[in-house]
Structures are given as C-alpha cells and as structure tokens.
C-alpha cells in the first residue's frame, strides 16, 4: 500500500521514520526495486 501510494502521488523517495519500517530490510529492498529512493540504511546494514 505504501509503495502504491508513493507511485500514485509521484513521490521520488520514501523515508521510513523510526521503528517498524526503518528496521525492515525487505521493505528497503522493495522500495529500491520499485524505482524509488530509500532514505535510510541499506538493506545490508539493517540485516
């Protein structure tokens, strides 16, 4: 839902904030695969 909303609104990047999403390596990878900029630590660093 977040990725769809970002694309629908023309967002270029996603900042996950603190907590849940900022600690999710799979979400970080999904953001990058969707062609958006991930404003947070790399998936590798999260793992």
Write down the domain spans for the chain: 2-46
How do residues 1-44 score in pLDDT, each as one tens digit? 899 999 999 999 999 999 899 999 999 999 999 999 999 999 99
- pLDDT at res. 9: 98
DSSP letters, 1-47, are -HHHHHHHHT--EE---SSTGGG-HHHHHHHHHTT-EE-S--HHHH-
Can you give the pLDDT at residue 3?
A: 96
The yes or no reply on domain 2-46 and CATH 3.40.50.720 is no
């Amino acid at each position: 839902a977040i990725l769809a909303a970002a694309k629908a609104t023309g967002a270029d990047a996603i900042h996950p904030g603190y907590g849940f999403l900022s600690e999710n390596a799979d979400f970080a990878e999904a953001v990058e695969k969707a062609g958006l900029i991930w404003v947070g630590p790399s998936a590798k660093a999260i793992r």
